[in-house]
Amino acid sequence: MKKYLVQFKPFLIFVGIFFLTYIVLTVLYKFYLNSFGANDLDDITLIVGRNTEQLLKLFNYDVIIQKSAQYPWMNVLLNGMKIALIVEGCNAISVMILFVSFVTAFSGKLKQTFLFIVFGIVSIYILNVIRIALLTVLLLCFPSQNHLLHGVVFPLIIYGYVFILWIFWINRFSKYAG
């Protein structure tokens, strides 16, 4: 048994750090969410909605993104039509937690690891705002493609980007980079 523990030590350390980081960040995020009422929307999601609205207005779209009075979401109105909802899950925090957990588990030098995590979180946030804005416009043009766009294409884009960041991290900066 000891032979296998020694043989798989790097893998076990990776898995342990990954899950410990993931669990700690997820629990902290849940505490954050629990600080809001059942029908309230968290501040991060509100900022994502505001930034999405600003991006669409930058491209001269007639857009209003407003908090629902009764429910924990924001209504997205484009050209006066309700096109979509922005809910807590749209803020990409869960994707960021996954990203941070992986990079931490494959950590390199402390400063590089920290800077890469900050870069990753900021770039995921920006990509997510672009993703929501683009999804809103595409849903206006192709409402029958909601499942394909929201359920397949856009998750593929954000998770694909995170995967590319991970590969870049492993090959360039992690302690396993050669």
In a domain, 76, yes or no: no
For residue 54, is it within any domain?
Answer: no
DSSP 8-state class, residue 39: T
Q: Name the more confident of 17 and 175.
A: 17
For 75, other C-beta atoms within 10 Å of its C-beta total: 17
Q: What is the pLDDT of residue 10?
A: 81
Does residue 178 belong to any structural domain of this protein?
no
Q: Per-residue pLDDT for 95 more than 70?
A: yes
Q: What is the pLDDT of residue 178?
A: 59
Quick one: DSSP state of residue 80?
Answer: T
In a domain, 27, yes or no: yes
pLDDT of 141 above 70:
yes
**DSSP conformation class of 102:** H
> Does residue 24 lie in a domain region?
yes
* Domain presence at residue 117: yes
d(CA 128, CA 4): 42
Q: What is the DSSP string of 55-78?
A: HHHHTT--EEEEE-SSSSSEEEEE
> Is position 43 within any domain?
no
Average pLDDT over residues 22-51: 95
Residue 5: the pLDDT is 74
In sequence order, the 6+-apart residues with CB closer than 8 A to the CB of 49 are 65, 67, 74, 76, 86
Provide the number of structural domains found in the chain. 1
pLDDT of residue 4: 72
Q: Give dist(CA 104, CA 24) in Å, integer.
A: 12
Q: Measured in Å, how far apart are the chain's first and last C-alpha atoms?
A: 30
Query: Amino acid identity, residue 85?
Result: L
Dist. CA 7–CA 127, nearest whole Å:
39
What are residue 42's phi and psi, to 5 degrees?
-70, 160
Query: What is the per-residue pLDDT for 114?
Result: 95
Domain containing 25 equals 2-38+90-172
pLDDT at 8: 80
CA distances from 12 to 7, 77, 106, 114 (A): 10, 48, 12, 23
Residue 113 zone, left/alpha/beta (φ > 0; ψ -120 to 50; rest): alpha
Residue 177, pLDDT score: 63
9 belongs to a structural domain? yes
pLDDT tens-digit readout, 101-115: 999 998 878 999 999
- Region 143-164: mean pLDDT is 94
Q: DSSP secondary-structure letter at 151?
A: I
